């Protein structure tokens, strides 16, 4: 995936980053939302079905993936974007948690700083913040456009401490590997669509299928104090970590 040539985060993302209070020297965990913290593809599927459309994912590309129900001709890209924007306008406040997300992030918030970095449209930022607050997710929410690597480079430099990044998108993992290779990169595979489309992620430090695995890897690799349940401790002993 080619990214625009620029030295840092996009201006709208940078303006939000500069408002954050980042404690220097304290470990930092940066987390995506859709299909990491919140259920996304399954929710989007249900929403589109109500409008008379099918989501048929063969890749993580919108173009060619949304079809009027019962037809073989995909919608044009601009129509896909319009439907996606409608989803965030109508459904963002209604998104539900991925299992274990709140518990894991609340547990780690005592030992690390948490920043939520989402590629939801900027116009949906306030709805996303309200939704996550209602669901008990700690940490400020920053909306971003495009690759997240430059934002991770900025955040890790500001923190001056071990930093981790969690995302379901292999493209975002690649972006962070390119621009902030020192950052621990967890490819989150909680959604069936991610497991099916992206079973491998060469640029990930680790691949995890749920939040118990994610917490176990983060506590070991950052490292963080051992504040886990017995189940997370069991997973810590067995979770796969790809070491470079």
pLDDT digits (tens, 9 = 90+) for 9-59: 999 999 999 999 999 999 999 999 999 999 999 999 999 999 999 999 988
Distance from C-alpha of 60 to C-alpha of 238, rounded to nearest angstrom? 29
> Residues 151, 17: contact at Cβ < 8 Å?
yes
pLDDT digits (tens, 9 = 90+) for 140-186: 999 999 999 999 999 999 999 999 999 999 999 999 999 999 999 99
- Do residue 115 and residue 233 come from a single domain? yes
- Do residue 221 and residue 146 come from a single domain? yes
Indicate whether 1 belongs to any domain. no
Picking from 15, 29, 59, the residue whose alpha carbon sits closest to that of residue 162 is 29
Q: Which residues contact 96 (CB under 8 A, 6 or more apart)?
A: 38, 39, 43, 135
- Do residue 147 and residue 178 come from a single domain? yes
Distance from C-alpha of 85 to C-alpha of 95, rounded to nearest angstrom? 15
Q: Of 93, 111, 136, which one is at a domain's C-terminal end? A: 93
Q: Of 62, 93, 124, which one is at a domain's C-terminal end? A: 93
Indicate whether 2 belongs to any domain. no
Max Cα–Cα distance, the chain, nearest Å: 55
- Do residue 118 and residue 171 come from a single domain? yes
> Residues 213, 235: contact at Cβ < 8 Å?
yes
Indicate whether 6 belongs to any domain. no
Indicate whether 170 belongs to any domain. yes
Q: Residue 86 pLDDT > 90, yes or no? A: yes
Confidence (pLDDT) at 3:
52
Print the domain residue range for 133.
Answer: 11-39+97-238
Domain count within the chain: 2
Edge-to-edge strands of the sheet including 113-118?
141-143, 113-118, 28-31, 163-167, 184-188, 206-208
Cis peptide before 222 (omega within 30 of 0): no
Confidence (pLDDT) at 235:
58
Backbone dihedral angles phi then psi of residue 15, each to the nearest 5 degrees = -60, -40
Q: Residue 70 pLDDT > 60, yes or no? A: yes
Sign, CA torsion 150/152/158/163: negative
Task: Provide the pairing of β-strand 184-188 with 206-208.
Answer: parallel
Indicate whether 129 belongs to any domain. yes
């Amino acid at each position: 995936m080619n990214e625009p040539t620029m030295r840092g985060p996009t201006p709208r993302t940078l303006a939000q980053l500069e408002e954050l209070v980042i404690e220097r020297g304290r470990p930092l965990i940066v987390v995506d939302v859709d299909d990491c913290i919140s259920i996304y593809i399954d929710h989007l599927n249900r929403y589109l079905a109500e409008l008379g459309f099918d989501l048929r994912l063969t890749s993580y590309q919108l173009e060619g993936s949304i079809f009027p129900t019962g037809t073989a001709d995909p919608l044009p890209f601009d129509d896909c974007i319009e439907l996606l924007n409608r989803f965030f306008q109508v459904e963002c406040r209604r998104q539900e948690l991925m299992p274990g997300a709140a518990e894991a992030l609340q547990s780690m918030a005592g030992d690390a700083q948490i920043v939520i970095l989402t590629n939801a449209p900027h116009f949906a930022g306030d709805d996303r913040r309200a939704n996550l607050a209602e669901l008990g997710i700690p940490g400020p929410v920053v909306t971003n456009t495009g690759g997240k690597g430059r934002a991770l480079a900025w955040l890790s430099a500001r923190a001056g401490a071990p930093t981790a990044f969690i995302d379901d998108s292999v493209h975002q993992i690649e972006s962070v590997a390119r621009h902030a290779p020192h950052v621990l990169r967890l490819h989150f595979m909680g959604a069936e669509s991610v497991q099916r489309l992206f079973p491998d992620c060469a640029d990930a430090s680790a691949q995890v299928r749920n939040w118990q695995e994610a917490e176990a890897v983060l506590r070991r690799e950052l490292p963080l104090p051992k504040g886990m349940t017995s189940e997370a401790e069991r997973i810590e002993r067995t979770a796969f970590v790809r070491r470079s």
